[in-house]
Amino acid sequence: MKEMGLISRAFQLFHAEAPKHAKAWMEMVQSLSTASALDERTRSIAYLSVLAALRLESGLPFHVSHAKRLGVTREEVISAILVGLPAAGHVVTQALPIALETYDRA
């Protein structure tokens, strides 16, 4: 599966070594997604902002690729990453290289 290369080794290991926990985690994620008033495309853009602000760069390849499949443009990815600039500071710029390299490859 092509997406496996986009998923961090840590997350892959989590699924392999703790399948019951991973299943519970994924069920919770699905439940939160269905509870959201945001459509999937908007949620994916917002999620990129959160990943950048929290410096969770390992999640960016998977989520940028997913956002692109949903029709999110390169410019929207940049804006999503940088929307946290006033609150989180320039640390969000650390996400730009990973996000843009992933977007351009996807």
Global pTM reads 0.88
Residue-range domain boundaries for the chain = 2-105
Q: What's the CA gap between 29 and 82, in Å, rounded?
A: 24
- Classify domain 2-105 at the CATH class level: mainly alpha
Per-residue tokens: 63: 């989520």
What is the per-residue pLDDT across 35-86, written as a single tens digit (0 to 9) for each?
Answer: 999 999 999 999 999 999 999 999 999 999 999 999 999 999 999 999 999 9
For the chain, list the strands marked E by DSSP: none
